[in-house]
């Protein structure tokens, strides 16, 4: 192959094999140079794939609209292709690898005819760091190339560091004709391989993200003794300048980006508290030389939910989108060639195009931006990006926080009794579904550790891996908590103000890690008393606060029945420790 950027035989053989399959007119290796990227941007603008936005107001920014049938991850069409169905487990869709390859190759065959193949060498994590892993994504979409350049570290340097190693993840993406009924997102964990066909959207096609950094990496982590998690990582700095790090797993569109970049309430800012963002979606964590759990963010950018992002809810995210950002499926404001989404401000544009590409009348009651519209922004744009963002060893984690979107049942915050009880708390997470995946929104479902759509192997074995990591870490293990920002009152309003005020809960969490804060023991764990959460300056009644800091035994007895049913699906893969935790919970509830 001429113009290849490497002599690595395993890469050249694989790329050649895929060229024979999909038959591109042209092959372009992405070297990561600004010159090459600028030419691709110009080409995408010329073909209409992207719209160049107002260079003065949004320098380096572009708008892209996906196909109307292709706006979110497709969990029903996401397959874990392990040799046996049992290895994929009961929470994954499965196909036998031989059958899956045949099906996918039949769909992909000749699909690049008349198109260009882009070969993207990328690194998850800083290039060359011990924690980092390399991948090659083949794609026929410039939009994918430009997003991968923001979300990962792309370029020739990745190949130079890889040398002739065979340790890299293979990714083939084919847009084909964006047919819903032929859309498949397939992971082959035993082969380090990902194949994605008939989509052009986010998590389905930016293969470094959910497909590699979670589905493939979770399996690698199981084999190699580390963890790949759907978690944000933040550092909370106190007035003395000490920074403590928290990793938090919330399901898709349940507040990771918002928490990761939170701005402390004024009274805390005045005292000198600060929050630093290390990552907003994925954490790779392993035991460090000091015996603690250390986390890195393998990504290089944010693929954030646009709707609801505004100067009040998340000023840092908004600021991150002001330059070199790709917007997907938001409103195009034709008056000044900028973008808009629901919840940005109270002034929707009058002369505008909606996410479907149609003229949009903001008074007709329809949404202008898709609820799962997104921005792709470089992490370095974020005003509160952590000084440790590029750190090769990552940051030491003091607390792990699980959380879901629950209108009732789960209190604002509680602490698990110990690591194994914390794994139990993570395993019973449930949350209302959101627009991040196709299908109904607002349906309550179990989503253990926010990993249900992202675990590359049997979820019962994944629980076992968590328990084993706890044994490894011993008394240096982070403390485990659960939060819920989404409790509703009888009128359907959020009781807890959320966003920046979530800092008040994080402070209790970190104080608990140091044995400094009070808590009351309940059937489910340790809950702060109303005097233990500082509510100075926020509008919440004592009665409401009491309500969200209490455990209703009747509701939790029902919950325990649901957990029993959920656990049954894991059969003998369910660790005995967790079955025991459930029994103890039932006993405590009476
Ligand atoms: P993914 O990128 O899909 O993994 O999502 P994420 O977990 O990063 O979600 P994100 O932070 O983008 O939050 C998505 C939605 O949750 C938005 O509609 C926010 O307005 C809402 N949200 C975030 N934090 C809070 C909070 O503290 N309270 C309330 N009520 N809503 C919140
Ligand atoms: C999520 O759905 O959890 C996301 C967006 O972070 S996507 O990359 O589409 O998976
Ligand atoms: Mn996510």
CA distance 426 to 577: 13
CA 37 to ligand 3 center in whole angstroms: 26
Give the closest ligand to the alpha carbon of residue 342: 1
In this prediction the pTM is: 0.98
Q: Is 375 helix (H, G, I), strand (E, B) or coil?
A: strand
Mutate to test the pocket of ligand 1, among 72, 201, 255 (most ligand atoms within 8 A of CB): 255
What CATH number labels 301-378?
2.170.8.10
Is residue 9 over pLDDT 70? yes
Average pLDDT over residues 417-431: 97
Q: Which helix (H) or strand (E) holds 34?
A: helix 34-47
What's the half-sphere exposure (Cβ side, CA atoms, 13 Å) at 225? Answer: 6
CA 430 and chain centroid, separation: 17
Ligand 2 atom showing the smallest separation from residue 251 Cα: 3
pLDDT of residue 1: 61
CA distance 316 to 318: 5
* 296 CB-near residues (< 8 Å, 6+ apart): 125, 129, 131, 279, 283, 284, 285, 391, 392, 393, 394, 395
Tell me how far CA of residue 109 lies from CA of 1, 22, 120, in angstroms: 20, 5, 20
Among protein residues, the one whose CA lies closest to atom 5 of ligand 1? 253
Among protein residues, the one whose CA lies closest to atom 5 of ligand 2? 203
Which protein residues have their CB within 5 A of the ion that is ligand 3?
252, 281
**Tokens representing 78?**
């996401």
**Tokens representing 325?**
């950002």
pLDDT of residue 2: 62
Name the burial class of residue 500, with classes exposed (0-12), middle (13-18) and buried (19+) by CB atoms within 10 angstroms of its CB: buried
Ligand 1 atom showing the smallest separation from residue 251 Cα: 7
How does DSSP assign 268-328, residue by residue? Answer: HHHHT-EEEEEESS-EEEEE-TTSSEEEE---SEEEEE-TT--TTT-HHHHHHTTSS-EEE
Enumerate residues lining ligand 1, CB below 6 A. 250, 252-258, 280-281, 304-305, 308, 313, 436, 485-486, 494, 498-499, 502
Closest CA to 227 of 476, 578, 475, 466: 466
CA 486 to ligand 1 center in whole angstroms: 10
339 — phi, psi (to 5°)? -125, 165
Is residue 3 over pLDDT 90? no
The angle that helices 34-47 and 142-151 make with each other, rounded to 10 degrees, is 140
Is residue 128 over pLDDT 90? no
CA distance 35 to 38: 5
**Tokens representing 578?**
């967790």
Q: What pairing do the DSSP bridges indicate for beta strands 520-521 and 526-527? A: antiparallel
Closest CA to 187 of 70, 72, 101: 101
Name beta bridge partners: 352: 333, 360
Q: Where are the domains of the chain?
A: 9-30+76-224, 229-297+389-589, 301-378
The pLDDT tens digits of the residues spanning 489-546 come to 999 999 999 999 999 999 999 999 999 999 999 999 999 999 999 999 999 999 999 9
pLDDT of residue 233: 98
Average pLDDT over residues 29-34: 97
Give the closest ligand to the alpha carbon of residue 283: 3
Give the closest ligand to the alpha carbon of residue 73: 2
The pLDDT tens digits of the residues spanning 541-568 come to 999 999 999 999 999 999 999 999 999 9
User: What is the longest distance spanned by two Cα atoms in the chain?
Assistant: 72
Q: What angle do CA 25, 27, 29 make, to 5 degrees?
A: 165
215 lines ligand 2 (CB under 6 A): no
Q: Which residues are catalytic?
A: 254
Topology of the domain comprising 229-297+389-589: Phosphoenolpyruvate Carboxykinase; domain 3 (3.90.228)
Average pLDDT over residues 448-468: 98
286 lines ligand 2 (CB under 6 A): no
The pLDDT tens digits of the residues spanning 317-361 come to 999 999 999 999 999 999 999 999 999 999 999 999 999 999 999
* CATH architecture of the domain formed by 9-30+76-224: 3-Layer(aba) Sandwich (3.40)
CA 203 to ligand 2 center in whole angstroms: 5
CA distance 585 to 563: 11
CA distance 567 to 557: 15
Counting residues of the chain whose pLDDT is more than 90, the rounded percentage is: 98
Counting residues of the chain whose pLDDT is more than 70, the rounded percentage is: 100
CA distance 151 to 427: 29
């Amino acid at each position: 192959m001429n113009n290849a950027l490497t002599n690595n035989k395993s890469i050249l053989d694989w790329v050649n094999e895929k060229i024979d399959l999909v038959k591109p007119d042209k092959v372009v290796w992405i070297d990561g140079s600004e010159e090459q990227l600028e030419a691709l941007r110009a080409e995408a603008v010329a073909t209409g794939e992207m719209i160049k936005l107002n260079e003065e107001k949004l320098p380096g920014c572009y708008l892209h609209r996906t196909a109307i049938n292709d706006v979110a991850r497709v969990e029903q069409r996401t397959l874990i292709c392990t040799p046996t169905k049992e290895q994929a487990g009961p929470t994954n869709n499965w196909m036998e690898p031989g059958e899956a390859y045949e099906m996918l190759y039949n769909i992909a065959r000749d699909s690049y005819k008349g198109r260009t193949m882009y070969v993207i060498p990328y690194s998850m994590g800083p290039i060359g760091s011990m924690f980092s892993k390399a991948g090659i994504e083949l794609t026929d979409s410039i939009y994918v190339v430009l997003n991968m350049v923001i979300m990962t570290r792309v370029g020739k340097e990745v190949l130079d560091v890889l040398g002739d190693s065979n340790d890299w993840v293979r990714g083939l993406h084919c847009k084909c004709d964006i047919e819903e009924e032929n859309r498949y997102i397939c992971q082959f964990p035993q082969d380090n391989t990902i194949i994605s066909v008939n989509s052009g959207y986010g998590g389905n096609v930016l293969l470094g993200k959910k497909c590699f950094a979670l589905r493939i990496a979770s399996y690698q982590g199981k084999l190699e003794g580390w963890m790949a998690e759907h978690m944000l990582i933040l550092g909370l700095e106190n007035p003395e300048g000490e920074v403590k790090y928290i990793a938090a797993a919330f399901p898709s569109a349940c507040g990771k980006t918002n928490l990761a970049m939170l701005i402390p309430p004024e009274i805390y800012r005045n005292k000198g508290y600060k929050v630093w963002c290390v990552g907003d979606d994925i954490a790779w964590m392993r035991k460090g030389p000091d015996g603690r759990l250390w986390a890195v963010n393998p990504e290089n950018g944010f693929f954030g939910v646009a709707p609801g992002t505004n100067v009040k809810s998340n000023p840092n995210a908004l600021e991150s989108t002001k330059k070199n950002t790709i917007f997907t499926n938001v409103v195009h404001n034709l008056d000044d060639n900028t973008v808009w989404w629901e919840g940005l401000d109270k002034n929707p544009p009058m002369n505008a195009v909606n996410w479907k590409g149609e003229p949009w009348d903001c008074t007709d009651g329809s949404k202008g931006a898709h609820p799962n519209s997104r921005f792709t922004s470089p992490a370095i744009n974020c005003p509160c990006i952590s000084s440790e963002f590029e750190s090769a060893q990552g940051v030491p984690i003091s607390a792990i926080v699980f959380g879901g979107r629950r209108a009732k049942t789960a209190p604002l915050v509680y602490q698990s009794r110990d690591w194994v009880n914390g794994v139990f708390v993570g395993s019973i997470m449930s949350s209302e579904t959101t627009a991040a995946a196709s299908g109904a929104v607002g349906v309550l479902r179990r989503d253990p550790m926010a990993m249900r759509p992202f675990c590359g192997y049997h979820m019962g074995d994944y629980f076992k891996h968590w328990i084993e990591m706890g044994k490894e870490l011993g008394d240096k293990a982070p403390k485990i908590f659960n939060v819920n920002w989404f409790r509703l009152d009888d009128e359907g309003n959020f009781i807890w103000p959320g966003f920046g005020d979530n800092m008040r809960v994080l402070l209790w969490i970190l104080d608990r890690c140091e044995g400094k804060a009070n808590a009351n023991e309940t059937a489910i764990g340790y809950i702060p008393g109303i005097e233990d959460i500082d509510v100075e300056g926020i509008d919440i009644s004592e009665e409401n606060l009491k309500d969200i800091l209490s455990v209703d035994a009747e509701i939790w007895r029902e919950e325990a029945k649901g957990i029993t049913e959920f656990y049954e699906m894991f059969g003998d893969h369910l660790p005995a420790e967790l079955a025991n935790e459930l029994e103890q919970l039932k006993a405590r509830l009476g």
